[in-house]
Amino acid sequence: MIKRRILVKGARVQDVGYRLFLYYEAESLGLAGLQARNVGKDVEILAEGEENCMDEFVKFIKENYPKHAEVEKIEVYDYNGGVMDIERYYRSLTVEQLAKMVDAGLGLVGGQSKMLEKQDSMLEKQDLMIQKQDLMIQKQDKILEKQDEMLKKQDEMLKKQDEMLKKQDLMIQKQDLMIQKQDLMIQKQDKMLEKQDEMLKKQDLMIQKQDEILNELRELRKDLKAFIDERFKRIEEEIKIIKKKIGLR
């Protein structure tokens, strides 16, 4: 058997699924050993196997890349060092991939917890706004009650027209002041409505992000299930071959 050290260079060769991509081809060719790891910005591959299998493997690497990889150069060297057994490498790769999935899942759960905390804070603020609006309504009721009293007094003022002119001038001034205050209240209510609209937009954005997170989790679960199903299928095939070799059915 011979050994080779292969360097894959390019703008994007890491975090594109290169190691699993290489493993499937190495296993199908029957290589005895395989290691692949990130070295600087490159991917280093150590392989061991029969010469014809090694030639096919090197040819495959030069002509095929993972979907999102951007490869610029492939360098191949003779190698005399140790190479990990291919099954041992696969187990190591599997553990590493599962650990990444768990870390990603935990990060998503933590982000959702923070989003829930922010939503709780927003709900508390909305409750406070509702309380203030209730207080405004109570004050408006008092204003209406006072206006009713003013109408009663106006009936009395009709009997005293001479005094009424003077008092009407005073009432007009007060009414103008009331209108100004009412205008101010309307302006504040308009601002409150604008802020509520902004809050609704932000909540819609949060819901969209939650949907994106849920979709990503679903995709991760699908990828993991497909990965495990494929592995179980391979194990079952290997067991059948072993049983056949030792004479079991």
Share of the chain above pLDDT 70, in %: 95
CA angle 35, 96, 73 (to 5 degrees): 45
The SS3 of residue 77 is strand
* pLDDT at residue 3, as a whole number: 96
Burial of 12 (0-12, 13-18, 19+ CB in 10 A): middle
The SS3 of residue 247 is coil
Residue 112 one-letter amino acid: Q
pTM of the complete model beyond 0.75: no
Q: Domain locations in the chain?
A: 2-84, 98-238
Please give the helix or strand (H or E) that residue 35 lies within, else none.
strand 33-39
2-84 CATH fold = Alpha-Beta Plaits (3.30.70)
DSSP state of 16: S
Q: Mind listing the pLDDT tens digit for each residue in 21-80?
A: 999 999 999 999 999 999 999 999 999 999 999 999 999 999 999 999 999 999 999 999
Q: Mind listing the pLDDT tens digit for each residue in 234-246?
A: 898 888 888 888 8
